[in-house]
Amino acid sequence: MDKLVVHGGRPLTGTLHVGGSKNTALPLMAAAVLADGATTIHNIPVLQDVATFANVIRVTGCTVDWNPDDDPNTPESITIDASGIHHFEAPYDLVKKMRASFYMLGALLGRGGKARVSLPGGCAWGPRPVDLHIEGMKALGAEIREEGGYVIAEAPGGRLKGGRMRFEPVSVGATINVLLAAVTAEGETVLENTAAEPDVVVFGQMLQAMGAQIDGLGTDTITVQGVERMNPVEFTNCPDRIELGTYMIAAALATPPGETLTITGAQPEHLGPDFTERFRETGVPFEFDGDVVRVTGVETVRPVSVETAPYPGFATDLQAQWTVLMAQADGPSTVRDTVYTDRFKHVPELRRLGADLQVKGDTVEVAGRNGRPLSGATVMSTDLRASVSLVLAGMVAEGTTNVLRVYHLDRGYERIEHKLQGAGVDIAREQYDEAHAEGVPA
């Protein structure tokens, strides 16, 4: 198994490049299944999740052409030809690896009026039910039953009907999944309390390019007029806003005072106003210049409390990284997650490094630096964003930090050790024996 070994204290300088959005790439790939032909999507990140989802799509009879090279700064493209689709199933052995595979439910229903999709797996934290996804399909007329761990869905007569669905609570995944099914449903579909994240908007824009009739993207109500068929297209994925936020936090942590880290390939407006304002309150200077972001290091980071919320609020996918930043801030703060209220498995690992953190309900109380530097230790990744928070902490800890089980990290951060090495961080990937590694429970 792989681990990342981080020798702390090296300055983060130079340039980091933001890859394509992981949270958008997977829905775009699912959308390609709707078209009878070859769709090419550019700016696809080289991630394990992309490889996994490509295999999920191949099972259906689609062909997937994706051959990434070894350059972490070269945008990649993927071509999905869905003209040969014939097997309307997403099997357990693949879906269990990644929750986003459940998008195949909407994609297969939208394409062929039937689907057999395994209930999903994914990160090891918190309940994230798919009830809203299933209720949305039922609202479009799908007949659904669960059998042997699979969701089996059929559209009577072979095509779904337009309907109305209100998402409670708001859900990015359910909004995407129901849109996949609704664009080819007969008649009008109205979706209320829909997610407004850039991931959803860009995904919807690709559906529009394929011929879908959609109004209201980026608002809380989306209206769809169903079309009979979708067309293959060529489309470019947006940059990853969570990767951008992570790099801005990394710069605030590890870029020397007065020096600047340059982040390229970004789309800063996708961060949302809440993150931007909270970052400004830390006293860390930054500027947006087109697709370039510049962050200048400071002596002292001011403590700033945050509360996650659906977009345009502070992203839950950035709360673990923000917790590390606040652990180095000059004073106490709180980090509250109202989206996933138990997403704190990184906290015990950060405490192993010396961070003064206490979890109380849906909130982490952060004491701040208080003159106590972090110290290197062996820590274990538990999910995607938790794992990158451990890397950030290791960058500023004294000594060596071993971050185990980085397969979580590989799901969402494109070749991150190569990017950080290029910006001065002493980090390397090594193999280790899981059965005898310090810090791994027996």
Question: Which residues are tagged catalytic?
Answer: 123
Quick one: which H or E segment has residue 105? helix 104-112
Annotated binding-site residue? 23: yes
Annotated binding-site residue? 129: yes
Contact assessment for residue 380 and residue 439, using Cβ atoms and an 8 Å cutoff: yes
Annotated binding-site residue? 131: yes
Annotated binding-site residue? 419: no
Nearest to 30 by CA among 93, 98, 96, 76: 98
What are the tokens at 254?
């590890």
Alpha carbon distance 325, 251 (integer Å): 10
Alpha carbon distance 434, 14 (integer Å): 35
Alpha carbon distance 142, 94 (integer Å): 24
Query: What are 308's strand-pairing partners?
Result: 314
Alpha carbon distance 104, 34 (integer Å): 10
The contacts of residue 214 (CB under 8 Å, 6+ apart) are 179, 183, 204, 207, 208, 222, 223, 224
Contact assessment for residue 226 and residue 183, using Cβ atoms and an 8 Å cutoff: yes
Annotated binding-site residue? 420: no
Quick one: which H or E segment has residue 246? helix 241-254
Annotated binding-site residue? 345: no
The contacts of residue 14 (CB under 8 Å, 6+ apart) are 261, 262, 422, 423, 424
Residues at the binding site for phosphoenolpyruvate are: 22-23
Binding residues: 22-23, 99, 128-132, 317, 339
Q: Which residues are annotated as a binding site for UDP-N-acetyl-alpha-D-glucosamine?
A: 99, 128-132, 317, 339
